[in-house]
């Protein structure tokens, strides 16, 4: 995820869209740790570009107000998932 995040940040800094898919459909993006910080900022930017977002965090309740905000900002769709990053056995199944 780090190279994708760096790429998204770089494109955002240049003012370029970061949610464009080659197919012309909205890009589907997984945002982990989406309850605060840079993850929320990236999710907001992607929402404004009409992305389909999957938000993942430990505490699902904390994602609910963020989901509403992202829908208002223009996200094509938003899904919420409970995810513990330190549960390494679940990583492959999750993605």
**pLDDT per residue over 27-71, tens digit each?**
788 898 888 899 999 999 999 989 999 999 988 899 999 999 999
Contact in structure between 30 and 36 (CB atoms under 8 Å)? no
Tell me the CA distances in angstroms from 85 to 20, 54, 55, 56, 69, one per residue in order. 27, 15, 13, 9, 24
Rounded to whole angstroms, the Cα distance separating 52 from 28 reads: 5
Residues with Cβ < 8 Å from 77, sequence gap 6 or more? Answer: 26, 52, 53
pLDDT tier at 3, thresholds 50, 70, 90: very low
Verdict on whether the full-model pTM lies above 0.85: no
């Amino acid at each position: 995820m780090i190279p994708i995040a760096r790429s998204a940040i770089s494109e955002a800094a240049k003012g370029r869209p970061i949610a464009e898919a080659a197919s012309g459909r909205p890009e589907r993006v997984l945002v982990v740790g989406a309850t605060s910080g840079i993850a929320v900022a990236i999710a907001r930017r992607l929402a404004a570009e009409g992305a389909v977002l999957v938000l993942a965090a430990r505490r699902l309740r904390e994602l609910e107000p963020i989901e509403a905000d992202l829908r208002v900002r223009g996200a094509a769709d938003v899904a919420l998932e409970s995810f513990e990053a330190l549960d390494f056995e679940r990583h492959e199944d999750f993605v």
